[in-house]
């Protein structure tokens, strides 16, 4: 029986019928104080069968924008589908969220241990139970992230190259940018890919920051996808897009040639020309001033907002033309 035809689903030993609303606690470990750490999974099912959409945020605990996007989805009752099932997990890495950092208490990145192991590290165990008990119910996955550390991402959807179905779904979401990005081994995206589940990864803003403009892009995109799947509730209207998403097939990082104080002169999202002035790097003593210019025409889709950089640090992420000399680097999910 196909997932979209399931009348009852069983998640973490809880049976949820069509038309039911349920919050199931995903409890996998305790704090040192023996206090349970529970991950709420919010499930809304229509009486009408249909696809299941799994929406996750805070795989990295310091990425707050995704939490706000899923929170708004629930608060505005956008997660109550006209048909099918919507599963929301606003905070997948509760441990990192409590500590205000990216990682699990074992020092691991949850997004680098999928599909996990039953008897491995704490992060690996969470990934294992999530992959075995929750992910198989999904027909589509939407996963929300931000830039790491002080790096601010323009709102963008990341998809693996050469996947026409994902590209069409990304166009439906219609973030300002759609970026081709290879899937990293042991990532959530890679596991979805191997299980044959279409996944859109949204990036927007930076860690430990809540940005209302980024949140709006995320919520609007979800509404467009739900409308496309004929799941958006009758009382809700998906926002129309004023512009089509810009497809970025190749990109590279502009790195700091000097260490020092970084003074950014342009906004993220901006289209720049070759040689355009982007930033200066100075020393603290007023004796050195290095000018950073764009190596090519393209869109700036990530800006390092740290006031201090070391030589070699990534400071701008820029789209590039398709030439043999293009340097493509991996991006963090």
In order of 75, 214, 275, the CA distances from 315 in angstroms are: 36, 20, 16
Give percent of the chain above pLDDT 70. 95
Does residue 253 contact residue 316 with C-beta atoms inside 8 Å?
yes
pLDDT at 158 over 90: yes
Give the pLDDT mean for 288-311: 97
The per-residue pLDDT for 1 is 39
State the pLDDT at residue 329: 56
Which pLDDT tens digit goes with each residue over 125-139? 999 999 999 999 999
**Structure confidence at residue 326 as a pLDDT band (50, 70, 90):** very low
For residues 141, 146, 147 and 152, what is the CA-based torsion angle, rounded to 10 degrees? 130
Q: What is the mean pLDDT of the chain?
A: 93
> Given a cut of 60, is residue 32 above it in pLDDT?
yes
Q: What are 37-63's pLDDT values in tens digits?
A: 899 999 999 999 999 999 999 999 999
Whether the pLDDT of residue 281 is over 70: the answer is: yes
The pLDDT of 25-47, averaged and rounded, is 89
The domain segmentation of the chain, as residue ranges, is 3-228, 250-319
Per-residue HEC secondary structure of the chain comes to CCHHHCCEEEECCEEEECCCEEEEEEEEEECCCCCEEEEEEEEEECCCCCCEEEEEECCCCCCHHHHHHHHHHHHCCCCCCCCCEEEEECCCCHHHHHHCCCCCCCCCCHHHCCCCCCCCCHHHHHHHHHHHHCHHHCCEEEEEEEECCCEEEEEEEEECCCCHHHHHHHHHHCCCEEEECCCCCCCHHHHHHHCCCCEEEEEEEECCCCCHHHHHHHHHHHHHHHHHCCCCCCCCCCCCCCCCCEEECCEEEEECCCCEEEEECCCCCCEECCCCEEEEEECCCCCCEEEEECCCCEEEEEEECCCEECCCCEEEEEECCCCCCCCCCCCCC
Fold of the domain built from segment(s) 3-228: Aminopeptidase (3.40.630)
Half-sphere exposure of 101 (CA within 13 A, CB side): 8
Confidence (pLDDT) at 149: 85
**Closest of 190, 161, 176, 301 to residue 244, by C-alpha:** 176
Q: What is the pLDDT of residue 278?
A: 98
- The predicted pLDDT at position 322 comes to 53
CATH number for domain 250-319, candidates 2.40.50.100, 3.40.50.720, 3.50.50.60, 1.10.240.10: 2.40.50.100
Report how far residue 201's alpha carbon sits from residue 198's, in angstroms, rounded to the nearest whole number: 10
Q: Look at residue 178 in the predicted model and tell me its pLDDT.
A: 97
Q: Does 71 score more than 80 pLDDT? A: yes
């Amino acid at each position: 029986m196909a997932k979209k035809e399931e009348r009852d689903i069983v998640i973490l030993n809880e049976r949820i019928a069509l038309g039911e609303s349920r919050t199931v606690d995903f409890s996998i470990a305790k704090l040192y104080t023996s206090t349970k750490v529970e991950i709420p999974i919010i499930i809304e099912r229509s009486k009408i069968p249909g696809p299941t959409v799994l929406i996750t945020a805070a795989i990295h605990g310091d990425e707050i924008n995704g939490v706000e996007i899923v929170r708004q989805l629930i608060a505005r009752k956008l997660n109550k589908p006209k048909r099918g099932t919507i599963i929301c997990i606003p905070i997948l890495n509760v441990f990192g969220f409590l500590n205000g950092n990216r990682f699990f208490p074992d020092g691991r990145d949850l997004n680098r241990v999928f599909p996990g192991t039953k008897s491995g590290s704490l992060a690996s165990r969470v990934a294992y139970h999530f992959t075995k008990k929750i992910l198989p119910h999904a027909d589509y996955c939407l996963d929300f992230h931000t830039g790491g550390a002080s790096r601010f991402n323009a709102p963008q959807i990341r998809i693996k190259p050469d996947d026409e179905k994902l590209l069409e779904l990304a166009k439906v979401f219609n973030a300002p940018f759609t970026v081709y990005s290879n899937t990293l081994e042991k990532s959530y995206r890679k596991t979805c890919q191997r299980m044959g589940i279409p996944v859109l990864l949204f990036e927007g803003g930076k860690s430990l920051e809540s940005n209302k403009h980024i949140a709006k892009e995320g919520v609007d995109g979800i509404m467009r996808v739900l409308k496309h799947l004929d799941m958006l509730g009758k009382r809700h209207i998906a926002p129309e897009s004023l512009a089509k998403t810009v497809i970025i097939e190749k990109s590279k990082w502009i790195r700091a040639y000097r260490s020092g104080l970084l003074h950014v002169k342009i906004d993220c999202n901006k289209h720049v020309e070759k040689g355009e002035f982007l930033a200066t790097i100075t020393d603290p003593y007023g004796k050195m001033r290095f000018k950073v210019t764009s190596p090519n025409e393209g869109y700036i889709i990530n800006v390092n907002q740290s006031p201090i950089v070391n030589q070699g640090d990534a400071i701008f992420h820029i789209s590039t033309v398709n030439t043999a000399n293009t340097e493509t680097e991996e991006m963090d999910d």
